[in-house]
Chain A
Amino acid sequence: MRAAIAVLVFAAACGAKPTPVVMPTLPGDGDTNTAKPPPPRTKPAADPWESKTLIGPPEISPPQSVDLAAMVSFKLSNGLEVHVIPDQRLPVVSMQLVVKAGRADEPVAYPGVAELAADLLVKGTRTRDAAGIAKLIDSVGGTITADATFEATVLSCSVLRRELDTCLTIVPEMVEQPKFASDEFTKMRDQLRGSLAQRLSDPATVATVHAQNLLWTNQHVRGRVTSDLAIAQITRDEVIAWHKAWFTPANSMLVVVGDVDAKRVQSDIERAFGGWAKAPVPPHPQMLPPGLNGTRIRLVDWPGLPQAQIRVAQFGIQHTDPRFFDTLVFNYILGGNPQSRLSRVIKTGGASTFDRNADAGSFVVSTSARNTDAVVTTEVVLGEITKMAKEGPTDGEVAQAIASISGSWGLRFQTVADVGAALVGAELHGFGEEYLKNYGIAVGHVDPGSARQAAQAVLDPKNFVIVIVGDAKDIEPQLAKKGWRYDKVPFTAQITPVVTPDVDPKRLAAAKKFLDDALVAKGGRAKLQALTSVRLTETGTTTAAGHPAVAVDMERVLVVPDKLRIDARFASGAGGAQTRVVYAADGAKGWVQQPDPSDPTKMVVQDIPPPQMGAIDFERWRDTDTILLKATDPAAKVTPLADDDIGGKPQTVIKLASPFVGVDVTLYFDKATKLMTRMTYDEGGFTSSDEFADYKPIDGVQIAHKRPTHDRARDIELTVKKAEVNVQIAPSSFVKPASATPATTTAPANPGAK
């Protein structure tokens, strides 16, 4: 076909123009063979604005300063630095307590601890629980939030002027006496893992974190990317230690903006924060940028991703750099606004940013493209950066950028919380209030020459970090064609390896000793090693989320070492009918017997598929009555965690590593009885827990008779009616039934239960 077209084109190009053939009209063919007049030339739609004088931008007026009342600054005797800006526009006040510790200061083994600690600040103090805090702030119509940034942790409280006492009460409590309650800790850690999983399922975020990682490497905090495994490793202990190390008055700053009398509020602040005990401030970790020599490319393979994400990164500049405002201006032109150079040359738009931190931070260009255009789009980005580095911006572009940046600066001071946040940003880098007032004027001092010099000095036209997240099968041929060398990783890859934390040998020895004592309390090693079987006959209810409770009778049998059978009967309808489900496992094989979904009056028996046998293996391994033998094995990997309390009773908490990836168990023991009260473990980002109470000795072994459990799907409340150990269990119990048995019985659920 292509050849035929080529011939026609050739003929048309070489020969004389053919005269149209007029065909005669034949009877019966209508006008089929009649030469038709050419279709009328459609007039292009008139442009209604062609001849109009359009409304254009006004003459550029010089940038103005922002009027803010004079700031009053003082220091409390415990070292807390305070800045107050009175702002009488409206009867509101915003208070920001800034602790100068953020992601940049996190221990290598615990990336995420700063964010987790911040989340927990608003979830309880020694005198108020999470609901109490929410109620207090709600009753005055205020807001309170806590967040961790790269450089700091910020607690913000905003209220009506006359409710200022609420902030002055609650903020010192949160910062000085946070509770870090274990149930809230578990909930917030799960929440953090959930939100991390969500963030890392977004290709744009994955591209950005890979770019930071490739630029800064795993040796630098900017390059380290937190992960589910890393967050799962954080315990309450680390949060407490983080708080103890950094939350000191001399490492903090209080900013108050709003309708206050600067002098009067000073005494209020002294009263509220004066009791915060002095403590030494540890040095902040210092890290050198790794340097960039040559271009590094990483392809993150995400099969099936329709649109590739592209990041190009270099090192940025410090906020205190004298070229800061020049950089702001050329970056606005390059990719800092919707009409930027990058946005004009790339169909999907492009943006460029510089971090605004005490350290150099990063310069990152972000864009996206179809997989098939990924490399050519990357080249366009590199071309624009190089052009900016070599030629800089034009005079007109600089004037327009100054007008927009300085014009928008005033819009940042609408609320007292905005003023407070801007002041925090300035004070963290040693600038002060004048910086905020005269920012627009400073932008106005940039001239085309200084902007061009800065672009030349700050941007590097040779050394780039490039990350492309997309479908490798489409992108690799493009990279190969260019001859670009690259590394390829799957999008699910763990970006930064988890660092195993060091454990204090003294605490470890104490934990091991406690486990030995717990083994004795349970019945002793000899009794447990001689254990051949455990059979528990239980009754209670099971409640799936959002559904009513269902009565359940259950028999659980364990034959040491590897036979397990659970026989459950659920109340399933009117008249006390029951539905029966049986699970059994023997060594590597298992089966389940349950009602046929298509005919619930019949039972079906199926093998448990091998992938699901993993869950059974875990259940057998974590069996409550034998786990202490595993925990006291000399090879066991145990980690002591912070003490806790359950229902007012002090608890010893110890983590035990399991042979299964990512599902370690945490064991709680009553300090007085040394009996296990709780076991928690991770279930794909959700912490499941089993509780144990009402211990009774059965043949010399302490067996818990109350056993509520809570997992992602349901709550189960069970009471043991009968516990037996070392009883003979018929081997046939574990043999897969050959024929179906009736699925329902007429025996009432929970006979005798009230």
Chain B
Amino acid sequence: MPAVDTATLGNGLQIAVVSVDGPPVVAVQVWYHVGSKDDPRDRRGLARLFEYLMFQGSEHVRPGGHGDLIGALGGFVNGHVDEDASHFGETLPVSDLDTALKLEADRMRGLVLRDVNVQATRQLAAEQAKNESATPVAAGMAHLLSIAFPTAGYAWNPSGVASDIDSITLDDVKKLYDAYYQPNNALLVVVGKTTLADVKAAADRAFGQLPRAETPKRAEAEHDQSGSRREVLEAGPVGLALFGFHIPPARDPDFYPVQLAAMMLGVGDDARLKKRLHTKDAKTGELLAVDGGIDLHVHENPGLLVLVGAYREPSHGQAVEDAMTDEIKRLGTSGPDEAELHRVKRQVESGFVFSLEHTDGFAETVGRAWITTGDATSWQHDADKFEKVTAGDVERVVKQYMNADRATLVVVPPKGP
């Protein structure tokens, strides 16, 4: 497995380089430690809106020019903003590394922010936010997040809320930019056919002159939940039972058995929840539910494991809830069997290793590790930590984190035939 080398520039910009002896290509990504959880409560969607602005011109690059230039070199650009992080970058021939870093430095501190762009982007971003909450599952999930996180900014989706987005101003955008888009709040990740020495020299040329800024304040984490919460929403076309449980942050050692437990419950056709919800009633031959699965929100701060059951018959509501609770209890009482543990470990391992095949996927792994653990090298131990998880660990964490006292349940009853 390739190793990661790190360095820090004088202005606080951190650098992580993974040298891969392959084709003459590099993935360059700049990770900013700011995400939707840092949005002000009345500006939900601000960080995601900013993603659009990062492509609309900087001091020495015309709007759209960044992508055009990288395209002309044979490469491609990308950018993404989620709950904890915002990252932007490009994959391109290694011979053009300097150009990529110049472009990134130009938008790190020289972004051209204009009211006309903010106005146009607001419309796009609000539309996106509306689309993302349009399905019954998305609406139910959004409600679950809002009651599961009374304190933390994980209470909304990164795409935000249309009414908040409509009131975002140029001033809001500038405040976000000046607080977080700073060298000492960023990590430069480069993966590909290069070395730390080459990257550091090039980064010095591109970013070295940018001054260090004040350390931004960090968002508040969710307080420990005691006592269950339950809400029943208006009936929808499909019945939904959404169970949320607070889980430890990504840097916590318990995160590893929690993820494996989540997969045992809800990933693949052999998963416990899927099989249980797909059982037929012996008398009527009816399926208990249409589908079941999980949604794992792993974050820098304590996140949420969501178990989903979808059903059609209004009379099945209680049975679906009971079956879900029962499956959790069963895993927390008897633990997994060896074959099951082996299967999910192989799935996690192959998912992890295959994600490193693309240089940009590799760079994301490094950047994500830095955001969630504060250490750009921590991903190197992930495979080992997953491998060491025992059946007893899984049993323990299910009991500890997925119990009734920590449950938040949202029910959307089905309208019925």
Name A's B-contacting residues (CB within 8 A): 45, 48-49, 52-58, 61, 64, 66-67, 87, 89-92, 131, 134-135, 138-142, 158-160, 163, 337-339, 400, 403-416, 541, 543, 546-549
B interface size (C-beta, 8 A) = 60
In angstroms, Cα B391 to Cα A726, docked, is 69
User: In angstroms, how far is the closest chain B Cβ from the Cβ of A283?
Assistant: 38
In angstroms, Cα B284 to Cα A53, docked, is 75
* Selected A-B contacts with CB under 8 Å, 23 pairs: A49-B61, A52-B59, A55-B60, A55-B103, A61-B95, A64-B93, A67-B21, A67-B24, A91-B353, A140-B350, A141-B346, A163-B350, A339-B71, A404-B71, A405-B74, A406-B74, A407-B73, A407-B74, A410-B23, A410-B24, A414-B25, A414-B358, A541-B285
User: In angstroms, how far is the closest chain B Cβ from the Cβ of A592?
Assistant: 22
Checking A57, A405, A413 against B23 with a beta-carbon cut-off of 8 angstroms, the contacting residue is A413
Chain A residues near B98 (CB-CB < 8 A):
58
Chain A residues near B399 (CB-CB < 8 A):
none
Chain B residues near A541 (CB-CB < 8 A):
285
- Contacting A at CB under 8 A, from B397-417, are 417
Chain B residues near A160 (CB-CB < 8 A):
346, 349-350, 353
Checking B23, B24, B99 against A55 with a beta-carbon cut-off of 8 angstroms, the contacting residue is B99
For residue B184, CB closer than 8 A to chain A, the reply is no
Chain B residues near A142 (CB-CB < 8 A):
350
Contact between B25 and A92, CB atoms less than 8 A apart:
no
Majority secondary structure, A binding face: loop
In angstroms, Cα B2 to Cα A91, docked, is 11
Chain A residues near B285 (CB-CB < 8 A):
541, 543, 548-549
Contact between B20 and A408, CB atoms less than 8 A apart:
no
In angstroms, Cα B264 to Cα A658, docked, is 51
Checking B20, B75, B350, B357 against A407 with a beta-carbon cut-off of 8 angstroms, the contacting residue is B75
In angstroms, Cα B285 to Cα A549, docked, is 7
Binds A, one of B62-70, B293-301, B321-329: B62-70
Residue of A nearest to B345 (CB): A141
Contact between B313 and A414, CB atoms less than 8 A apart:
no
For residue B312, CB closer than 8 A to chain A, the reply is yes
In angstroms, Cα B286 to Cα A160, docked, is 40
User: In angstroms, how far is the closest chain A Cβ from the Cβ of B174?
Assistant: 15
Residue of B nearest to A142 (CB): B350
Contact between A138 and B268, CB atoms less than 8 A apart:
yes
Chain A residues near B339 (CB-CB < 8 A):
139
Residue of B nearest to A161 (CB): B353
User: In angstroms, how far is the closest chain B Cβ from the Cβ of A422?
Assistant: 11
| Bitwise interface map of B from 325 to 355 toward A, beta carbon under 8 Å scored 1, else 0 | 0000000000000010011001111110110
- Contacting A at CB under 8 A, from B91-147, are 91-93, 95-96, 98-99, 102-103, 106, 112, 114, 116
Contact between A134 and B93, CB atoms less than 8 A apart:
no
Chain A residues near B224 (CB-CB < 8 A):
none
Task: Name the residue in B23, B112, B349, B417 with the highest tally of chain A Cβ atoms < 10 Å from its Cβ.
Answer: B23
Contact between B312 and A546, CB atoms less than 8 A apart:
yes
Contact between A55 and B102, CB atoms less than 8 A apart:
yes
In angstroms, Cα B159 to Cα A665, docked, is 53
In the A-B complex, list the 9 residue pairs whose CB atoms are closest, starting with the nearest. A407-B74, A141-B350, A408-B74, A410-B23, A415-B357, A548-B286, A407-B93, A413-B23, A141-B347
User: In angstroms, how far is the closest chain A Cβ from the Cβ of B33?
Assistant: 26
Residue of B nearest to A543 (CB): B285
Contact between B353 and A54, CB atoms less than 8 A apart:
no
User: In angstroms, how far is the closest chain B Cβ from the Cβ of A218?
Assistant: 40
For residue B9, CB closer than 8 A to chain A, the reply is no
Given known contacts A141-B351, A546-B312, is B2 in contact with A89 (CB within 8 Å)? Answer: yes
Task: Name the residue in B65, B92, B95, B339 with the highest tally of chain A Cβ atoms < 10 Å from its Cβ.
Answer: B95
Given known contacts A54-B62, A61-B95, is B269 in contact with A158 (CB within 8 Å)? Answer: no
In angstroms, Cα B354 to Cα A142, docked, is 9
Task: Name the residue in A49, A67, A163, A416 with the highest tally of chain B Cβ atoms < 10 Å from its Cβ.
Answer: A49
Contact between B71 and A67, CB atoms less than 8 A apart:
no
Contact between A45 and B74, CB atoms less than 8 A apart:
no
Contact between A414 and B359, CB atoms less than 8 A apart:
yes
Residue of B nearest to A87 (CB): B22
Given known contacts A91-B1, A407-B75, A410-B25, is B69 in contact with A55 (CB within 8 Å)? Answer: yes
Contact between A549 and B284, CB atoms less than 8 A apart:
yes
In angstroms, Cα B92 to Cα A266, docked, is 35
In angstroms, Cα B316 to Cα A548, docked, is 12
Chain B residues near A53 (CB-CB < 8 A):
60
Chain A residues near B351 (CB-CB < 8 A):
141
User: In angstroms, how far is the closest chain B Cβ from the Cβ of A542?
Assistant: 11
In angstroms, Cα B348 to Cα A57, docked, is 41
In angstroms, Cα B69 to Cα A414, docked, is 22
User: In angstroms, how far is the closest chain A Cβ from the Cβ of B270?
Assistant: 7
Residue of B nearest to A437 (CB): B23
Checking A90, A163, A408 against B1 with a beta-carbon cut-off of 8 angstroms, the contacting residue is A90
For residue B72, CB closer than 8 A to chain A, the reply is yes
Checking B74, B343, B348, B357 against A403 with a beta-carbon cut-off of 8 angstroms, the contacting residue is B74
Given known contacts A52-B59, A57-B69, A400-B72, is B350 in contact with A45 (CB within 8 Å)? Answer: no
Contact between B346 and A404, CB atoms less than 8 A apart:
no
In angstroms, Cα B350 to Cα A91, docked, is 9
Given known contacts A52-B60, A90-B356, A159-B350, is B22 in contact with A57 (CB within 8 Å)? Answer: no
In angstroms, Cα B75 to Cα A91, docked, is 26
Checking B23, B114, B312 against A66 with a beta-carbon cut-off of 8 angstroms, the contacting residue is B23
Chain A residues near B354 (CB-CB < 8 A):
92, 158, 415
In angstroms, Cα B69 to Cα A337, docked, is 12
Contact between B75 and A411, CB atoms less than 8 A apart:
yes
Chain B residues near A412 (CB-CB < 8 A):
23
Contact between A55 and B2, CB atoms less than 8 A apart:
no
Chain A residues near B23 (CB-CB < 8 A):
66-67, 410-414
Chain B residues near A404 (CB-CB < 8 A):
71-74
In angstroms, Cα B58 to Cα A49, docked, is 9
User: In angstroms, how far is the closest chain B Cβ from the Cβ of A64?
Assistant: 5
User: In angstroms, how far is the closest chain B Cβ from the Cβ of A158?
Assistant: 7
Chain B residues near A400 (CB-CB < 8 A):
72
Chain A residues near B114 (CB-CB < 8 A):
48
Chain B residues near A90 (CB-CB < 8 A):
1-2, 353, 356-357
Chain A residues near B359 (CB-CB < 8 A):
414
User: In angstroms, how far is the closest chain A Cβ from the Cβ of B88?
Assistant: 15
Chain A residues near B346 (CB-CB < 8 A):
139-141, 160, 163
Checking A135, A415, A547 against B312 with a beta-carbon cut-off of 8 angstroms, the contacting residue is A547
In angstroms, Cα B72 to Cα A337, docked, is 9
Contact between A89 and B22, CB atoms less than 8 A apart:
yes
Chain B residues near A337 (CB-CB < 8 A):
71
Given known contacts A49-B62, A339-B68, A403-B74, is B93 in contact with A410 (CB within 8 Å)? Answer: yes
For residue B239, CB closer than 8 A to chain A, the reply is no
For residue B57, CB closer than 8 A to chain A, the reply is yes
In angstroms, Cα B349 to Cα A142, docked, is 10
Residue of A nearest to B313 (CB): A548
User: In angstroms, how far is the closest chain B Cβ from the Cβ of A332?
Assistant: 11
In angstroms, Cα B112 to Cα A49, docked, is 10
Chain B residues near A48 (CB-CB < 8 A):
57, 112, 114
User: In angstroms, how far is the closest chain A Cβ from the Cβ of B292?
Assistant: 15
In angstroms, Cα B194 to Cα A410, docked, is 14
User: In angstroms, how far is the closest chain B Cβ from the Cβ of A156?
Assistant: 13
Chain B residues near A414 (CB-CB < 8 A):
22-23, 25, 357-359
Checking A58, A138, A158, A339 against B347 with a beta-carbon cut-off of 8 angstroms, the contacting residue is A138
In angstroms, Cα B96 to Cα A412, docked, is 17
For residue B290, CB closer than 8 A to chain A, the reply is yes
In angstroms, Cα B351 to Cα A633, docked, is 60
Chain B residues near A92 (CB-CB < 8 A):
350, 353-354, 357
Contact between B73 and A403, CB atoms less than 8 A apart:
yes
Chain A residues near B290 (CB-CB < 8 A):
546
Task: Known pairs A58-B99, A138-B343, A410-B25; list 19 more (Cβ under 8 Å).
Answer: A52-B59, A57-B69, A57-B99, A58-B73, A58-B96, A58-B98, A67-B21, A67-B22, A139-B343, A139-B346, A141-B351, A160-B350, A160-B353, A400-B72, A410-B23, A410-B24, A411-B74, A548-B286, A549-B284
